[in-house]
Amino acid sequence: MDKGVILLSAGGTGGHLFPAEALAHELKARGWAVHLATDERAERYASHFPADGIHPVASATFGSRNPLVLASAGLTLWKGFRQASALLQRLKPKAVIGFGGYPTLPPLYAATRRGLPTLIHEQNAVMGRANRALAERVTAIAGGFLQQAEGAAGKKIVVTGNPVRPAVIAALAAPYTPPAADQPFHLLVFGGSQGAQFFSEAVPPAIAALPEAKKRRLLVTQQARAKDETSVRACYEQMGVKAEISPFFSDMAERMAAAQLVLSRSGASTVSEIAVIGRPAFLVPYPHALDHDQAANAAALAAAGGAEVHRQETLSVPWLAGLISAAMEEPKRLSAMAAAAKSAGRPNAAQLLADLAEAIAAGRTAADFRKDMTP
């Protein structure tokens, strides 16, 4: 049954697009046509996005204080607003849903100007700048790690968790395999679109410092920037450690399920996927993240017992080598962390977010929806 169109909008990074992709799958299964408005950065991620149409919309950030740069950003956003308005006129969506990032500003602002039902989803424990700019205008706010707060915007918050992709849902069926002595140890290392450089510089020397017997056990999968890929691969080849290195893994969910330890940043999507699949993690929040949102995300999983949080400035090569070495010898601790992580996961987040999307498309409010959620 064709229910109509819902327009999704997301910044062109994996952290914004992956939860949008998960919602798109759920909405299409319920009979909705789904379109995506984003920017040119999305091309590397959008090949698996189940959209009926992908529409580039001009956008820009206000990261500079230079008056000329600010003026240029304003003109670009105005162009994006005009493009988004034309798109809304053509698609006539029943609702418009944003997932953060500056590319969401033109479509969501245009939708609120037209009085369309609107929803923003905030993945992090701290709301990002684009979502903060929209919070007062939209119909409802879905929170991954946000909690309901005071104020006009705070009363719109519905805690849904962060949707994860179907590949992640499929991977949660794989049980955790604790490390065994003299058996391969699968280590997954990744840093997202920001912050992978630190792992490229820190992890190979730390592994080089391990005893030879442990190096022989390691099977490393590591995400590295394109310009670091060759040098990181050469480091592992020189020390005789089996490693797969790439700037991007399209099968990350399967690789996470195969891991016995995850070493990563703590973006909201990363933390949510680690929790749903249920894997022990050493989380290193990106220290330059705005509002320290990664630290807050990591703290949420650590509080559940599913992760350890390590500040980047504390991770010297000897210290990191010691952490990895100890983990390889502690199957009971890693198993307990895996179970704790899984208990904190929200595998039904996409369904709950789709329920909220359909509710606002039908003209209902966040308060109405929360009443329905109350037993």
DSSP designation for 36: E
Structure tokens at 276: 């749903």
Closest CA to 222 of 262, 269, 183: 262
What is the torsional sign of CA 345, 346, 348, 353? negative
At 65 the pLDDT is: 72
At 71 the pLDDT is: 79
At 253 the pLDDT is: 95
Q: Quick check: 151 pLDDT over 90?
A: no
At 128 the pLDDT is: 87
DSSP designation for 144: S
Report the 10 Å Cβ neighbour count for 208. Answer: 15
At 17 the pLDDT is: 85
At 44 the pLDDT is: 63
For residue 346, what are the CA distances in angstroms to 144, 168, 286?
A: 9, 11, 23
At 72 the pLDDT is: 80
Q: Long-range CB contacts (< 8 A, 24+ apart) of 132-138?
A: 133/105, 134/98, 134/104, 134/105, 134/108, 134/109, 137/108, 137/109, 137/112, 138/98, 138/108, 138/112
Element (H, E) at 9: strand 5-9
At 193 the pLDDT is: 61
Q: Quick check: 125 pLDDT over 80?
A: yes
CB distance 93 to 35 below 8 Å: yes
Provide, rounded to the nearest whole percent, the portion of the chain with pLDDT above 70. Answer: 94
Q: Quick check: 120 pLDDT over 90?
A: yes
The bridge status of strand 157-159 relative to strand 95-98 is unpaired
pLDDT band at 43 (very low <50, low <70, confident <90, very high): low
Q: Which of 38-47, 201-210, 293-302 has the highest mean pLDDT?
A: 201-210
DSSP designation for 313: G
Q: How confident is the model over 115-135, as a mean pLDDT?
A: 93
- State the first-to-last Cα distance of the chain, in angstroms, to the nearest integer: 30
At 45 the pLDDT is: 62
User: For the ranges 23-37, 70-84, 207-221, 335-349, which has the lowest average pLDDT?
Assistant: 70-84
pLDDT digits (tens, 9 = 90+) for 57-72: 987 776 667 777 777 8
pTM reported for the whole predicted model: 0.83
Q: State the average pLDDT for the chain.
A: 91
pLDDT digits (tens, 9 = 90+) for 281-295: 999 999 987 677 899
Label residue 363 left, alpha or beta by phi (over 0 means left) and psi (-120 to 50 means alpha). Answer: left
Q: How confident is the model over 110-115, as a mean pLDDT?
A: 96
Tell me the C-alpha distance between 16 and 25, whole Å. Answer: 15
User: For the ranges 44-58, 197-211, 270-284, which has the lowest average pLDDT?
Assistant: 44-58
At 1 the pLDDT is: 67
